[in-house]
Amino acid sequence: MYRFLVMNKMLSVFFFISVFTITLFEFICADQVEIFAGGAKLANVSVNLSLAYMSAFIFYIVIAYYPENSKRKHLSEPMLIGWILRKLEVELC
């Protein structure tokens, strides 16, 4: 998982911002009085967008990242070396 976080820094940063937003508006500031009219609606929209982003993030990990990562792990070393050599030949020609 650490490798995923490093390779996808922007996705990970937005995920943690979403977690922070949900924590802030749903738990910490839930009983606060609105500073301006419509503040509760803005907080509700922010929380809903954060939940949507978090679900899309988890969907991406489960559907795209883990299957691709497991395919890479199952490549044997000779196959990987052959693939690299073919790529180098295409790029050099």
Query: According to the model, what pLDDT value does residue 15 have?
Result: 94
Measured in residues, the chain has a length of 93
User: Model pTM?
Assistant: 0.69
Amino acid identity for residue 71 in this structure? K
Q: When comparing pLDDT for 6 and 45, which is higher?
A: 45
Mean pLDDT of 56-76: 80
Q: Please, what is the Cα angle at 58 between 17 and 72, to 5 degrees?
A: 120
> How big is the chain by its Cα radius of gyration, in Å?
21
pLDDT band at 59, cuts 50/70/90?
Answer: very high
pLDDT tens digit string along 12-35?
Answer: 999 999 999 999 999 998 888 888
Confidence of residue 4 (pLDDT cuts 50, 70, 90): confident
Alpha-carbon span 89 to 56, nearest angstrom: 38
Query: Which whole number is the average pLDDT over 48-73?
Result: 87
